[in-house]
Amino acid sequence: MAVLVGKKAPKFKAPAVINGNEIVQDFSLDQYVGKKYVVFFFYPADFTFVCPTEILAFQEKIKEFEARNTAVVGCSTDSEFSHWKWLQTDVKDGGIKGVKFPLVADLSKTISENYDVLAGTYDYNEEGEAVFQGTPQAYRGLFLIDKQGIVRHQVVNDMPLGRSVEETLRMVDALQYFEEHGEVCPADWHKGQKALKATQDGIREFLSAKQN
């Protein structure tokens, strides 16, 4: 599994559904560079079971991400037409109607490959035919990208394991706090709590205050 933290987020242009109902052909994360932070997450497939719980959970918290100047973008190996249909389907019928953030279509699987979250790989059989080994879907990868287009946090879950939207918000807060104050965020830090200076004195001061 590639570690992308500290590196430029891989670029792409791909079809996507935006605003819950509009298909665009050349969606790119480049539009956010210099303007917004990005939470870019992968999920295995439309019309499944764990995936809508995550996507709907991100939508429920979308105003909190927006308040942090952070765009949320989802991606799977489904087509834009599958995304569109799922977005038109009521939640009670297994859909995600009401979701407004972009869903990118990675039908070619190249985006998933470049972010190294594809659950399988292409190979050749004895006849020289291209075949796919594994599952042609993405693991539950999530990447926090700063305004310069650099990946600052990543997490990858296996397909049965849903992610925590609250933890994602916490990581956005931690990154922004560090950028603003220059102090590092210790274990289980949450917005509003004391951080610490990255020095021996700073650590001693922090641990002493915690004990008292």
Domains along the sequence of the chain with CATH: 14-163 (3.40.30.10)
Bridge partner residues of 38 (DSSP): 71, 145
Residue 200: pLDDT band by 50, 70, 90 thresholds? low
Q: What is the pLDDT of residues 2-56, one digit of tens each?
A: 899 999 999 999 999 999 999 999 999 999 999 999 999 999 999 999 999 999 9
- Whose CA is closest to 61, among 194, 167, 142, 139? 167
Q: Which residues contact 52 (CB under 8 A, 6 or more apart)?
A: 91, 94, 95, 96
Give the C-alpha separation, 71 to 65, whole Å. Answer: 7
pLDDT of 212 over the 60 cut = no
pTM of the model: 0.91
Provide the pLDDT for residue 186. 83
Give the residue with greater pLDDT, 141 vs 190: 141
SS3 category, 88: helix
Q: Which residues contact 130 (CB under 8 A, 6 or more apart)?
A: 122, 123, 124
Instruction: Name the packing angle between helices 165-181 and 50-60 (round to 10°).
Output: 40
Question: What Cα–Cα distance (Å) separates residue 25 from each residue in 35, 40, 75?
Answer: 22, 18, 14
Q: Which residues contact 75 (CB under 8 A, 6 or more apart)?
A: 40, 41, 42, 43, 103, 104, 105, 106, 111, 112, 138
pLDDT of 140 over the 70 cut = yes
Question: How are beta strands 140-145 and 14-18 bridged, if at all?
Answer: unpaired
SS3 category, 149: coil
185 an active-site residue?
no
Interval 183-205 mean pLDDT: 76
Are the C-beta atoms of 14 and 106 separated by less than 8 Å? yes
Catalytic position from the list 38, 39, 51, 169: 51
Exposed, middle or buried by CB within 10 Å (0-12, 13-18, 19+), for 65? Answer: buried
- Whose CA is closest to 9, among 163, 120, 116, 156? 116
Q: What is the pLDDT of residues 75-129, one digit of tens each?
A: 999 999 999 999 999 999 999 999 999 999 999 999 999 999 999 888 888 888 8
